[in-house]
Amino acid sequence: MITLKIDGREINAEPGKTVLEAARENNIYIPTLCVNEAVAAYGACRLCMVEVTRGNRKRLVASCLYEVAEGLVVETRTERVVNIRRLVMELLLARCPNSSEVIEMARSMGIDSSRFQSEEDDNSCVLCALCTRVCREVVGKSAISLVGRGTNRKVALPFCEDTDACIACGSCVYVCPTGAIKMEDNGDVRRITWPSSTHEFKMKKCASCGSYFAPEKQISFMIQKTGLEAEKFDLCMNCRP
């Protein structure tokens, strides 16, 4: 066990844990946007910045990536930290003026408005890359990725239309912290709307009750992954014995 101090409190953490993990285990709040246990930390939103002192060196680090160390002193609410968070939230508010999640988050940090002019197009993607990371690290398909660079960056399919690799599982939809990817099931089609395009996928019909219960491509993927016989996937959850 390692002993460190966060905001004056002495706490213990296992070696290899990040400062963010250690803080959460001890109910110390640090805001985050781009973190999710399902995938590796990425360090892009910069909301989780904290000030750490080790020896006589003080620096600002992203707590989602910075590992605990013996004797480390962490401060989560210094003036510099607060200024970064404030700027990040104001920037995101201007980028996604209509995202209730972003507005809510900003409000919880005491920020009601942004000094920057709101973006015109309706966009609630904050480019945290959780969707693309889940697709790659968890689903293993890499169907979507971050395309372009800098301010032109966006989440997209290859050539904004190539759905070959996508199994329509919807993981990206569930993981998105701001609801920027939409999904809708309607009869035999599932429609997914990414920030750059919308696509439809065929659903599979339950052999017993006739309801559409999962995308065909996802079923094929599961058959291939699990090595089970195809018939095992003929029935929906309700009709399974």
Partner 1 sequence: MEELQKKRSRIMDSRPDVSTIAVCCGTGCQAFGGEKVAQAFREKIAESGLQNSVAIKTTGCHGFCERGLLVVIRPQNIFYQRVRLEDVDEIFNETVINGKIIERLLYITPDGSSKITSEEEVPFYKKQMRLIFGANGNIDPAEIDDYIAIGGYSAIAKVLSSMKPEQVIEEVSAAGLRGRGGGGFPAATKWKSTREAEGEPKYVICNCDEGDPGAFMDRSLMEGNPHSILEGMIIGAYASGSNTGFIYIRNEYPLAVKNAEIAIRQAEEYGLLGENILGSGFNFSVHINRGGGAFVCGESTALMASIEGKVGEPRAKYVHTSERGLYDRPTVLNNVETWANVPLIINRGSAWFASICTENSKGTKIFSLVGKINNTGLVEVPMGITLREIIYEIGGGIPDGKRFKAVLTGGPSGGCIPENLLDLPVDFDELTRVGSMMGSGAMIVMDEDNCMVDIARYFLKFLEEESCGKCVPCREGLKRMRQILDDICEGKGEESHLELLEEMSAAIGDGALCGLGQTAPNPVLTTLKYFRDEYISHIVDKKCPAGVCKALISYHIVNENCTSCRLCVKKCPVGAIEFVDKKIPVVIHQDLCTKCGACKETCKFNAVEIR
Partner 2 sequence: MPEISVKNETLNCILDRYKRDRGQLISILQDIQAEYNYLPREAVKFVSSELGIPLSQVYSVATFFKAFSLQPRGRHTIHVCMGTACHVRGAAQILQQMENETKTCCGETTKDGKFTLESVNCVGACALGPVVVVDGEYAGQMTVNKVKPLLEKYD
Footprint (CB under 8 A) of partner 1, residues 169-188 = none
Rg (alpha carbons) of the chain, rounded to whole number: 22
- Report the Cα 205 to chain-centroid distance in Å: 31
Footprint (CB under 8 A) of partner 1, residues 136-165 = 146, 148-153
Give the one entry of partner 1, partner 2, ligand FES, none that residue 54 binds, where binding means its C-beta sits below a cut-off of 5 to 8 angstroms depending on kind. Answer: none
Q: Judged by CB under 6 A, which of 6, 23, 28, 33 binds ligand FES?
A: 33
CB neighbourhood size of 108 (10 A): 11
Rounded Cα–Cα distance for residues 43 and 66 (Å):
10
Give the one entry of partner 1, ligand FES, partner 2, none that residue 239 binds, where binding means its C-beta sits below a cut-off of 5 to 8 angstroms depending on kind. Answer: none
What is the total count of residues that contact partner 1 (CB under 8 A)?
35
Give the one entry of partner 1, ligand FES, partner 2, none that residue 143 binds, where binding means its C-beta sits below a cut-off of 5 to 8 angstroms depending on kind. Answer: partner 2
DSSP secondary structure of 10-72: EEEE-TT-BHHHHHHHTT-----SS--TTS-----S-TTEEEEEETTEEEEEETTTPBP-TT-
User: Smallest distance from the beta carbon of 29 to ligand FES, in angstroms?
Assistant: 13
Q: Are 192 and 157 spatial neighbours (Cβ–Cβ below 8 Å)? A: no
Give the one entry of ligand FES, partner 1, partner 2, none that residue 142 binds, where binding means its C-beta sits below a cut-off of 5 to 8 angstroms depending on kind. Answer: partner 2
Helix (H) or strand (E) holding 198: strand 197-205
Rounded Cα–Cα distance for residues 206 and 237 (Å):
9
Footprint (CB under 8 A) of partner 1, residues 82-121 = 83-84, 86-88, 91-92, 94-95, 115-117
Footprint (CB under 8 A) of partner 2, residues 99-158 = 132, 136, 141-149, 157-158
Give the one entry of partner 2, partner 1, ligand FES, none that residue 220 binds, where binding means its C-beta sits below a cut-off of 5 to 8 angstroms depending on kind. Answer: none
Q: Are 184 and 168 spatial neighbours (Cβ–Cβ below 8 Å)? A: no
Footprint (CB under 8 A) of partner 1, residues 27-86 = 42-46, 49, 60-62, 65-67, 80, 83-84, 86
Q: Are 151 and 158 spatial neighbours (Cβ–Cβ below 8 Å)? A: no
What is the total count of residues that contact ligand FES (CB under 6 A)?
12
